[in-house]
Chain A
């Protein structure tokens, strides 16, 4: 029993957190943030990625994956709707940045609100008609939406079709911090700040009315509806907030990558982000962060087996899902009940 507790990182972490007073909590949080912020300097250690540049890997895929997985987690984890077209919002954000960045004089931070707004509008437009559907049907409609966005971009002239849009401007410097292609530390810090903002938003919402409504919808939509929860309204809110995070990630990605093309926004991205959420632990913020970090980082870390890395990736998904179907760090509630029962007995 004792030995098992060492392995149960989540409960151990939770008990430390609950036992701590305010100062201690602030100290823990600050240490964690500083450690994460120092990650780009650890490139020479065992963390190094053989072929891709290490600090670039930290921004994309790892950082952006964590951000998008957190956004998708609002939809899939919190309110239990299966969304297979999440990449559409990412693409809308990225194309907003690319088009406005090349056609107007606005910089990344000024375009960010537009990207988020367009993604949210798309979320409402898609959500209003489709969120009456459930389960697999919702999954297939969202999947179709993701493909439609990609195909429209691929076949239109304003988006330059399959050639994509080049020369997307970089973000302007923030004081002494310069955004550079060969040294992406500043990008990483920006992503970390966006991740922290998203986590803060999710944690605040979770304990308030929308969070409770989502929880009710996830557990039993009919019961929630009968209890007077305006389910459609909260489902659309959850969809729209998820879309907003995806749009923000898209804006940053376009601005970091300087070039975007439709082939970057295939269904595979949606599937990968969904895998991050489920792999880490649906609904649990820290699980999602861990899952997205591992799945973003793993393919680049094992590049030395270059050709077979996606095969390994697929196999890892199957094996982990078979042995830990609730993800690496599952959400708390259910297991807590079991632990309590054991204590009483």
Chain B
């Protein structure tokens, strides 16, 4: 039972960390919005899904790569990857702002119950994923291979592949930039002020609507970057991948303590590792069950997540 885990421990660990970093970026979308609005941005999974299509469209339609063409090399490779990343981030960012504008803004101005907001979010998720389903005729879409999956070195019997290395390093850089943005910039300060006390922040002259839009935008950018890495590693996307990835990322956010950006980092990486180890030990089909059971246990015994706010007093 544990043979696979022991034999392939290091290669599992590396793919787990890479998956974990994708989760980290998606869960930033959940955690930032939650921090500011105390609300699950249910549509974040679909924002991620739209982000993945950004990369596919860039590779396939903008640079005319096909399944048969040679992978890019050298400077061109960097250029293509960077533009795919930027397109994915832009699409996801715009979608996130659009979601906020259409589904949340009016309800927030009315100050109505949280359930109405949740249903509105569910409605916009269904709409977003259905639009993509109609556009792709319900089929999975493969992405042409732009980045050749070179094996760089071998460490303790594990192959270190180029795409996982790029994912881990680039995702860490993006995370670091966002974290600095929240910590140091003027806007980041405003975001943190609103998440601490909305009324007081307003009285201090913070433009609430602009803060909220920025929060959605930044969360969307991170989620879109996750979409790019997902396509680079798995070379495939579909209109309904949002759900599984979104659920896992949300679990990661809760694991680390939702509303807490560093928490999202540790939550994402530990969830990625956990998922990979669990599927090695129990088989892939029990992966999701293990994740949820761990989530329930964490909430029961350490209810504020590993790094989070006090859940028991969270506004219901």
Q: Are B296 and A141 in contact (CB under 8 A)?
A: yes
Which of A39-47, A115-123, A321-329 forms part of the interface with chain B? A321-329
Q: Are A321 and B295 in contact (CB under 8 A)?
A: no
Q: Are A221 and B316 in contact (CB under 8 A)?
A: yes
B303 proximal to A (CB < 8 A): yes
Main secondary structure on chain A at its contact with chain B? helix
Given A133-B311, A144-B292, A155 and B116 contact (CB-CB distance below 8 Å): no
Q: Are A326 and B106 in contact (CB under 8 A)?
A: no
Least Cβ–Cβ distance between B32 and chain A, in angstroms: 15
Q: Are B122 and A135 in contact (CB under 8 A)?
A: no
A174 to B314, CA, bound (A): 52
A80 to B115, CA, bound (A): 10
Q: Are B115 and A82 in contact (CB under 8 A)?
A: yes
Contacting residues, chain A, for B198 (C-beta < 8 A)? none
Contacting residues, chain A, for B120 (C-beta < 8 A)? 317-318, 321-322
- From B40, B116, B130, B296, A144 is in contact (CB under 8 Å) with B296
B288 proximal to A (CB < 8 A): yes
Least Cβ–Cβ distance between A18 and chain B, in angstroms: 27
Given A129-B300, A137-B303, A275 and B40 contact (CB-CB distance below 8 Å): no
Which of A183-191, A204-212, A307-315 forms part of the interface with chain B? A307-315
Which residues of chain A from 140 to 155 have any CB-CB distance to chain B below 8 Å in the complex?
A: 140-141, 143-145, 147-148, 151-152, 154-155
Q: Are B134 and A325 in contact (CB under 8 A)?
A: no
A143 to B291, CA, bound (A): 12
A308, A314, A321: which has the most chain B beta carbons within 10 Å? Answer: A321
Q: A-B pairs with CB below 8 Å: how many?
A: 134
Write the B131-174 contact mask toward A (1 if CB under 8 angstroms, else 0): 10010000000000000000000000000000000000000000
Write the B287-316 contact mask toward A (1 if CB under 8 angstroms, else 0): 011001101100110010000000110111
A108 to B124, CA, bound (A): 39
A90 proximal to B (CB < 8 A): no
Contacting residues, chain A, for B251 (C-beta < 8 A)? 140, 144
Closest B residue, CB atoms, query A317: B123
Q: Are A310 and B126 in contact (CB under 8 A)?
A: yes
Given A134-B312, A134-B316, A275-B122, A321 and B116 contact (CB-CB distance below 8 Å): yes
A74 proximal to B (CB < 8 A): no
**What number of B residues sit within 8 Å (CB to CB) of A?**
49
B286 proximal to A (CB < 8 A): yes
Least Cβ–Cβ distance between A276 and chain B, in angstroms: 10
Write the A217-240 contact mask toward B (1 if CB under 8 angstroms, else 0): 000010000000000000000000
- From B112, B123, B312, A325 is in contact (CB under 8 Å) with B112
Closest B residue, CB atoms, query A155: B285
Chain A interface size band reads: 35 or more
Q: Are B292 and A147 in contact (CB under 8 A)?
A: yes
Given A133-B299, A141-B299, A144-B296, A314 and B123 contact (CB-CB distance below 8 Å): yes
Q: Are B130 and A139 in contact (CB under 8 A)?
A: no
Closest B residue, CB atoms, query A319: B123
Q: Are B124 and A318 in contact (CB under 8 A)?
A: yes
Write the B37-52 contact mask toward A (1 if CB under 8 angstroms, else 0): 0011000000000000
B254 proximal to A (CB < 8 A): yes
A276 to B187, CA, bound (A): 39
A140 to B254, CA, bound (A): 9
Least Cβ–Cβ distance between A11 and chain B, in angstroms: 20
Q: Are B293 and A148 in contact (CB under 8 A)?
A: yes
B24 proximal to A (CB < 8 A): no
Q: Are A317 and B296 in contact (CB under 8 A)?
A: no
B177 proximal to A (CB < 8 A): no
Closest A residue, CB atoms, query B42: A271
A221 to B299, CA, bound (A): 19
Q: Are A148 and B123 in contact (CB under 8 A)?
A: no
Chain B residues proximal to chain A, CB less than 8 Å: 34, 39-40, 102-103, 106-107, 110, 112-120, 122-128, 130-131, 134, 243, 247, 250-251, 254, 258, 285-286, 288-289, 292-293, 295-296, 299-300, 303, 311-312, 314-316
Given A282-B113, A314-B126, A314-B130, 18 more pairs with CB closer than 8 A: A76-B115, A137-B254, A137-B314, A140-B295, A152-B289, A155-B286, A221-B316, A278-B115, A278-B118, A310-B126, A311-B130, A311-B131, A317-B119, A317-B120, A318-B123, A321-B123, A322-B107, A327-B116
Write 5 A-B pairs (CB below 8 A) sorted by A numbering. Answer: A137-B314, A147-B247, A278-B116, A321-B123, A327-B116
